[in-house]
Structure 1
Amino acid sequence: MQIRLWDNNLKVRLIGEGMFNMLFWMYFPFITVYFSYELGNSIAGILMTVPPIFSAIGSLLGGGLTDQFGRRPVMLLGALLQAVMFILFAVSPSPWIDYIAFIGIGFGGAIYRPASSAMVADLIPAENLREVFATFATANNIGAVLGPALGAIFFFQYRQELLWTCAVVLILYFITIYFIVHETVAQTREKNSKISSVFKEQWKGYGIIFRDKVFLIYILAGIFALIPIMQLDLYLPIYIINHVPAQQIFAWENGSFLLSSTDIFGWLVGFNGLLFVLFILPVTKWFRRWKERDVFILSSLLAGFGTFFVGLNSNIWYLFFVTIIFTFGEIVRSPVTQSFISRYAPEHARGQYMGADSLQNTIGKFLAPFMVFLSSWVPPIGVFSIILLFSFVSIILYIHLFKKYEEKPVHHEM
């Protein structure tokens, strides 16, 4: 589905979210380093386990509010909260206030995302969902490729200016949503005047969702599938820096281009991001006729075996090759997760399902670091074998999931 045919809601959000994600990746990769410098490694390590909890709460809250009040008001709330927290971060005199602001930024983003995803599902036919979600992922990952390189300069040398820029962009985005973006739900539920009634209704709604056995299997399968994918930021840097020797990537008559172990990891991360940007749209089109079940299984196989293969050879060109394998495992999965929930969730509870869907990512972030902890006692091939085992478990769960849930066929445009 070509962008020129999109609803104006989606065009505005593609530009706005793309700009913000560029700024996000200019500060996010360095935030742990900043808190480690200000508060010490041990305290920073403990502190960084807290934001995912608030993100999970924000996602559940945002999902419930999305169904209660509509998509647009919740997106406005999330954008405004992030802008206020960036201003607090910019004027903060203390790293502890910085930390509160950082949690607030994540909380505001978590409130925003279910409404954003639900709006896409409201406006796009089922047969085009994967492609549209892939386009948003492309815009987001352009920022993930370019942002860290720029952030290495701006975050440490011009942090206040960067934070103020983030705040200004979000304020402008808030104004744009207010004046241009229209509501996509014809009728929201009757609005309760009491906040306690709103939360009580949301709690009841999530109680129904978490008794949905098909959905619970989907969440559990996603957790096991994401653990291998998340190792790029967790165990792989430790393995590569400690076990992959420095080596030349190019050689010529009078010299060579030598990369240290740390450099090699940096190149692999950049290559991973570049592959994502270049191939997510083509790959989504290649697999658009595949059933969601088969895409999920393929993703788990590629991510699991690709990560396992890292431990078999330390040659840099070999590592580039296996990076292609595990990156494609992430690429084929990304648009399908959102399209699955968009199609599976009942229309009246779409926001809550979108919010609950984020739990697989949050729980995965809690469990994935276990590989780093385990590496102190288990040799690398053992750690990689356990990572591969998680992939097999996810495949078994996905097979079980689609035995319980009969996938509805979609009609693709020719």
Structure 2
Amino acid sequence: MSTAPPERPGAGEPSFREALRGLPGRVWIVSLGILVNQIGNFLPVFIVLYLTGRGHSAGAAGLVLGVSGVGRVLGNAVGGHLADRIGRRRTIVLSAVTTSGPTAVVPFLDPLPLIVAVVALIGVTSQIYRPAAAAALVDSVATERRRLAAFGVFRFALNVGSAVGGVIGGVLAGSSYTGLFLVNAVACLLFGVVVAALPRDAPGARSDRGDGTRAGAKGAAYPGTNRSAAWPGAARAAGYRRVLADRALTRFLLMTAVAEFVYVQSTAGLPLHIDAVGLSERDFGLLLGLNGLLVLLFELPVTGAVARCRPERVLAVGNLITGAGLALTGFGTDLVLLSATVVIWTVGEMTNSAVSQAHVGNLAPPGMVGRYQGLHGVAYTVGTGTGPLVGGAVYAIDPWALWGLVGAAGLWSARLSLPSRRAKAPVGGARS
């Protein structure tokens, strides 16, 4: 363990704007691929409308969504393993190709069990790329601020793709669901083609120093420590059991699941509240549109503003703001008040989003970046999957019970963002 005192975050690094300008081509190629993929990512959004339009019940549509969610959890775990074993580029291309084919055949399937099986498969294959794409960004840059800039660009591409894709998907769904899913399949293939342009990668090679430590990594949750020193032979591939022995990571994963449970109430609890106070689906759409507009305009500048701060503290503040904003939803009885709450929780979302993924890269020792990102994806998917189920059940008991639970969970996720009180301070003396 290093005995040097903790460095000031970002000490000796370029400004966030300079970091953006200096990002390598690999970051832009991956982000372009994400943009293409997200524009055509229609199946998760429109599968319920497609099934109910073909005469299937709401329960059947819910079953399809459920198995897709389980597949997404598994896909992140598989993707993290593959990213470290066969490389980032091959894993992303594999995900794109194996998602394209099943997506193209969905509109030609008739028996519900077959649809369930194929959509479950798509749930797995469509998520395999995520840990690999994140790991490719971590490999491409060696310092914390550049890493944060890389994930800021990645998130911007994701948000633009979602906004554009929603419009295109609505137009296509109005004319032909067959065309919708075929375009989705083509977008997957184009994603693979774009990423295939990446140079061959040796996982983690671009960010590992010859002495076995990760350049630019300062131990993240425990600044001043050399995390790789606690992992003998860390450069060799290791299983998930070994990864989960990292207490800082498991705490971070729990934080992620709780934080996503809170955030997903923006699309689970909020529409229930909208209906209860007598507002319309149009009003709900306007609120989501406000959120999307704010994210597109301000997320990258907000990421730059927090780049000089310790990631743990940024995550704590962001989770606190998100939880407070969504908990205040219960007091919103008209569109103006609810718009104010949307602004609050969107600020929390913008504060956290890029920092969260970049922070996983800071935590990961050499040779395990893919698995760390894979488990982050698992935690994210668990949070977003359980949120609607638990939120809906609690809301049915008492609406205020849900908003109280959201506020408490926001506080808990903020506390989990910070190092445990039982964690030892660095030998240098200061506790992070």
Settle same-fold status: TM greater than 0.5.
yes
Shift of residue 130, structure 1, vs aligned partner: 1.4
TM-score by length of 2: 0.81
Determine whether 1:373 maps to 2:362.
Answer: no
AA in 1 matched with 2:402: V
Equivalent residue number for residue 211 of structure 1: 245
Aligned residue number for residue 137 of structure 1: 155
Measure, in 2, the Cα distance between the counterparts of 1:186 and 1:296. Answer: 25
- Letter paired with 1:150: I
Equivalents in 2 of 1:146, 1:219: separation in Å? 31
Give 1:68-147 correspondences, 5 Å limit.
Answer: 68-125=85-142, 126-147=144-165
1:106 is displaced (CA, Å) by 2.6
Whole-angstrom CA distance in 2 between matches of 1:149 and 1:74: 29
Amino acid at match of 2:361: S
Aligned to 2:46: 30
1:109-146 Cα distance to aligned partner (Å, 9 max, x none):
21111111101000113221112211111111122223
Per-residue displacement from partner, 1:188-235 (whole Å, max 9, x unpaired)? 9xxxxxxxxxxxx98x61011122222111111222222221101111
Q: 2:311 — aligned with what?
A: 292
Whether the aligned pair in 1 keeps the contact of 2:74 and 2:378 (CA below 8 Å) is no
Q: Provide the residue aligned with 2:320 in structure 1.
A: 301
Q: Tell me the distance in 1 between the aligned counterparts of 2:167 and 2:201.
A: 37
Q: Which residue of 2 aligns with 1:352?
A: 371
Contact residue 264 and residue 316 of structure 1 kept, 8 A: yes
**Correspondence 1:271-290 to 2 at 5 A:** 271-290=290-309
Matches within 5 A, 1:223-372: 223-243=257-277, 245-246=278-279, 261-369=280-388, 370-372=390-392
Aligned match for 1:172, one of 190, 203, 206: 190
CA deviation string 1:277-316 (max 9, x = no partner): 1111000011111111211111111111101111113121
Which consecutive residues of structure 1, in runs of 5 or more, have no partner in the other structure?
189-200, 247-260, 408-414
| Structure 2 residue matching 1:348: 3-state secondary structure | coil
Q: Which runs of 5+ in 2 are unaligned?
A: 1-17, 207-235, 427-432
Q: Distance in 2 between matches of 1:336 and 1:280?
A: 11
After superposition, the Cα gap between the structure-2 partners of 1:8 and 1:131, relative to the gap in structure 1 and judged at 3 Å, is: closer
SS in structure 2 of the partner of residue 281 of structure 1 = helix
TM-score, normalised relative to structure 1: 0.84
The answer on 1:42 being equivalent to 2:56 is no
Deviation of residue 358 (structure 1)?
1.3
Shift of 1:103: 2.7
Q: Partner of 1:347: helix, strand, or coil?
A: coil
Letter of the structure 2 residue corresponding to residue 15 of structure 1: L
Bigger helix share: 1
* Partner SS state of residue 136, structure 1: helix
| Distance (whole Å) between structure 1 residues aligned to residue 310 and residue 381 of structure 2 | 26
How far 1:339 moved relative to its partner? Answer: 0.9
Conserved 8 A contact 2:130-2:377: no
Identity of aligned residues (%): 23
State whether residues 100 and 185 of structure 2, in contact with CA within 8 Å, keep that contact through their aligned partners in structure 1: yes
SS at match of 1:211: coil
1-structure distance, mates of 2:38, 2:135: 19
Whether the aligned pair in 2 keeps the contact of 1:35 and 1:95 (CA below 8 Å) is no
Q: Evaluate the alpha carbon distance shift between residue 402 and residue 169 of structure 1 in structure 2; reply closer, same or farther with a 3 A threshold.
A: farther
Residues 134-172 of structure 1, C-alpha deviations (whole Å, 9 max, x = no match): 111111112222322332231242222222222223323
Query: 1-side partners of 2:320 and 2:252: how far apart?
Result: 17
- Please report how far the alpha carbon of residue 326 of structure 1 lies from its aligned counterpart in structure 2 after TM superposition: 0.5
Does residue 148 (structure 1) correspond to residue 182 (structure 2)? The answer is no
Query: CA offset at residue 405 of structure 1?
Result: 8.0
The residue type equivalent to 2:59 in the other structure is S
The two structures, once aligned, show a CA RMSD in angstroms of 2.4
Name the SS of the counterpart of 1:50 in structure 2: helix
Q: By how many angstroms is 1:391 displaced?
A: 0.9
- Pick closer, same or farther for the CA change 1:402–1:153 going to 2, 3 Å: farther
Tell me the number of residue pairs that the alignment of Structure 1 and Structure 2 aligns: 377
Q: 1:394 to 1:186 in 2, by over 3 A?
A: closer
